[in-house]
Amino acid sequence: MGRGILLTSNLPQLQNLIKRDPTAYKEEFLQQWNHYNSIRQIFQANPSEHAQQFRELVTFIAQVTPCYPKETAEFPSHLSTLLLENYATLSPDTRKALVQNLVMLRNKNVITSIELLKTLFPLLPRTTSSALRSSIRKTILSDIRTANIHSTNHKLNRAVQAMLFGMVERGMDGQVLGDKGKLRASTSQAPSPTNGHDAMWAIILTKELWRKGIWTDVKPVSIVALGCFHPVVKVQSASIHFFLGSDEDKEDSDDEEEETVDVRSLHHRREINKKTRSGDKKLQKKLTSAKKKQQNGKSDTNPNFPALQLLNDPQTFAEKLYDILNHYEKRFSLDHKILIMQLLSRVMGSHKLCVLGFYTYIVKYLTHHQLRVPAILVSLAQSVHELTPPDALTPIIQKLAHEFVHPGVASEVIAAGLNAIREVCRRQPWAMEEDMLGDLVEYRKSKDKAVIAAARGLLQLYRDVNPGMLKRRERGKEASMGMASGTQPLPFGHSADAAVDIEGLSLLEDHFNKLREEDEAVDMDEAGDAGWENWDVESDSSDSDEESEGWIDVDDADDQLVISDSEDEGEKKDGENAKAEEKNSEDAATRVSTLATTKILTPADFSLLNDLRIQAATQAVEAGGGPKAKRKLAALEGNKKAMQGAQEDAFISENDILGPRKKAKADYAERMASIAKGREGRDKFGSHKGKKNKDTPSSSTNREKTRNKPIMMILSSGAVRGKKKASLREKQQKLRAHIEKSKKSRR
């Protein structure tokens, strides 16, 4: 009786004893199990009653569940049911305890990952505690990562992806409200399926699993692609940012805009408030975090190329994006519309798609006073490719020229317009008209550096792709020579002839042959001495004995063997051989390599081929090849950088549109950094005047400094005013003191 009372009141001790010997303490456990069932029924009716006792019993049973699997078979389902059905009425401590015990059961392999995740996924959008929400999120991610650490767990992945897909699909039939004006307040509503919290968490978890490299196939891309068409703007934005490559996730589902840290305001507030050590630490922490965000944050996003390439049916995806952009334009803010434009343009550019309505839609935004017009121009340029019809782009070029390139706007606007036209024409040169090109190229005579660079870039572009559209004096030497030789650009819709050879592949073939000859030479040298061993020893083979007995008879029955001693025939053959050698020497420069038909070229082979071409071009430049050889070398080096940069160079940034600009005014942080840099290598305070000019280093006295001051600076000083207001007695005392001091100095 004493032991039972002791164990009943001390659950941790009973837990320790059960883990050591489950069989001996089974009756005590059953007693606590019955107590748990009775408390659970009372707790379901009134969650505020016996809450502390219920949590202690749940923790105790979760710890010893592996010892009694049959008796506690229904225990995990009890916890899941309580969390899912009575979550709103549970206290925060009880919710946390139930979640922790469920995770403990998963760690002890009492329940599977699928059973745990089926309970945790619905809790994410319902919980209001940031700590619990963060704990659930980390648990989900770590559990999926652990399941896929050695090999891909297809069963778990399919189940989780089906749950996430259902969370996104559940709210797809809602009404698109937008994010303009009062509609922004909808983001602060309570979590519910109607405002997209389920879908938001599904997108956040999918993006996190993709970023960590746990999921890299088509299914997570399909989940996020579905989120791009969700009626809730917040879900749309998070899904679009996934494809754009920017990380806009927050630790919770409230996904609010991050407050920008005002460094100057922080310093000003620190000077006003009370000076404490804790305040200094907080200030330094905020400044450090602001510096990290400034270093890591980028104005231009890097597209998520693997996700863009894994899109299922990109043409339909792009058309749906355009439909949303066009149909709900008045409900979306400008920032959100630009997000959709960026994604649509990158999908069109990477998959070579044609959504012609997009060019009609974007025309109204092509004005120099439009907010965020550089981002809009970037989206326009990225949507163009060589398969885009020139007829759809010609009105775009005309609108850009009329709005951005004229004397009535600033030089920065002209430079942006010329750069945008150049980027569009670089992808589709036939969109430009000849008369307009002549007018735009004349801006190379401007006085502004950015405008000159933009106009020269456009001129150089058409010198390379279609010099016939330029005036004769503007074509340049190389372009004129090319036109004289009869080379003409292919019209739109015409493809080049089938590729016969890869440029420079003969260099790679010669390189491999040279390596092969060096290897054979080494093998021959090593085997040379071994080849002469036992050269005079007779063979033991009977066949060799028979062959060495005498001459071999040749059967000439069919007169197949012709022997001639004629000198004329020999001379004839020598002449034919000489002609063949001469012909081979003529075709050596234009020979077609057979390496591509005998070997599968790897990326390393292409990298080596590019290096060999750069070496050959460098030798040509050193041998006096002229400007053409230099341009070829520069182009090859640019191609090498492009190969190293992968696909990122296929897209442009806002800096490419704005072009080189004058140095912008420095902000507070830059000015302070410049001041700190100027103070390097010098003392903190004071002047070196007195320390350098005196025998014993010391600074000048205040009296010495006063003597050198201008009279107007000391008229209002206290000493001068004191002399004027001094009484006769004070003047006598000063005079007497001066006389006595002078007498002492004479002695």
Q: What is the pLDDT of residue 7?
A: 57
Residues 150 and 18 in one domain: yes
Domain CATH number, residue 373 = 1.25.10
Residue 235 maps to a domain: no
End-to-end Cα, the chain, rounded Å: 112
pTM of the model: 0.68
With beta carbons less than 8 A apart as the criterion, state whether 140 and 120 touch: yes
Q: What is the pLDDT of residue 523?
A: 61
Backbone angles phi and psi of 314, in degrees to 5:
-65, -25
- Which DSSP category does 442 fall into? G
Number of domains present in the structure of the chain: 4
* Contact partners, residue 13, CB within 8 Å, separation at least 6: 6, 7
Residue 728 to residues 328, 616, 725, Cα–Cα distance (Å): 93, 102, 10
With beta carbons less than 8 A apart as the criterion, state whether 340 and 326 touch: no
Residue 690 maps to a domain: no
Q: Which of 639, 660, 681 is the last residue of a domain?
A: 660
Residues 313 and 197 in one domain: no
Residue 104 maps to a domain: yes
With beta carbons less than 8 A apart as the criterion, state whether 390 and 430 touch: yes
Q: Which of 385, 471, 367 is nearest to 430 (CA)?
A: 385
Q: Which of 458, 484, 510 is the last residue of a domain?
A: 484
Residues 331 and 476 in one domain: yes
Residue 555 maps to a domain: no
3-state secondary structure of 535: coil
Count CA atoms within 13 Å of residue 485 on its CB side: 9
SS (H, E, C) 52-81: HHHHHHHHHHHHHHHHCCCCCCCHHHHHHH
Distance of CA 276 to the CA centre of its chain: 41
Q: What is the pLDDT of residue 588?
A: 66
Domain interval for residue 460: 308-484
Helices (H), 355-410: 357-362, 373-382, 390-404
Residue 329 maps to a domain: yes
pLDDT over 90 for what percent of the chain?
45
338: tokens are 């630009």
Distance of CA 36 to the CA centre of its chain: 53
User: Where are the strands (E) in 259-349, listed by range?
Assistant: none
Residues 716 and 653 in one domain: no
Q: Which of 257, 261, 263 is nearest to 293 (CA)?
A: 261
Residues 63 and 211 in one domain: yes
Residue 156 to residues 160, 184, 305, 546, 714, Cα–Cα distance (Å): 6, 37, 26, 76, 87
With beta carbons less than 8 A apart as the criterion, state whether 429 and 465 touch: yes
Residue 437 maps to a domain: yes
Nearest-10 Cα torsion for 508, 514, 519, 520? 120
Q: What is the pLDDT of residue 414?
A: 96
Residues 654 and 738 in one domain: no
Residue 129 maps to a domain: yes
Residues 731 and 650 in one domain: no
Q: Which of 620, 643, 660 is the last residue of a domain?
A: 660
Residues 141 and 10 in one domain: yes
Residues 638 and 740 in one domain: no
Distance of CA 523 to the CA centre of its chain: 50
Residues 738 and 645 in one domain: no
Q: What is the pLDDT of residue 436?
A: 95
- Which DSSP category does 330 fall into? G
Mark the ranges of the chain whose per-residue pLDDT is less than 50: 1-2, 187-193, 249-259, 297-300, 530-532, 534-550, 554, 556-569, 571-572, 575, 578-587, 589, 645-649
Residue 533 maps to a domain: no
Residues 461 and 349 in one domain: yes
Residues 648 and 723 in one domain: no
3-state secondary structure of 550: coil
Residue 338 to residues 9, 240, 356, 689, Cα–Cα distance (Å): 65, 11, 18, 61
Query: What digits encode the pLDDT tens for the residues 28-69?
Result: 999 999 999 999 988 888 887 788 899 999 999 999 999 999
Q: Which of 93, 18, 91 is nearest to 61 (CA)?
A: 18
Q: What is the pLDDT of residue 79?
A: 94
Vertex 656, ends 651 and 659: CA angle to 5°?
A: 175
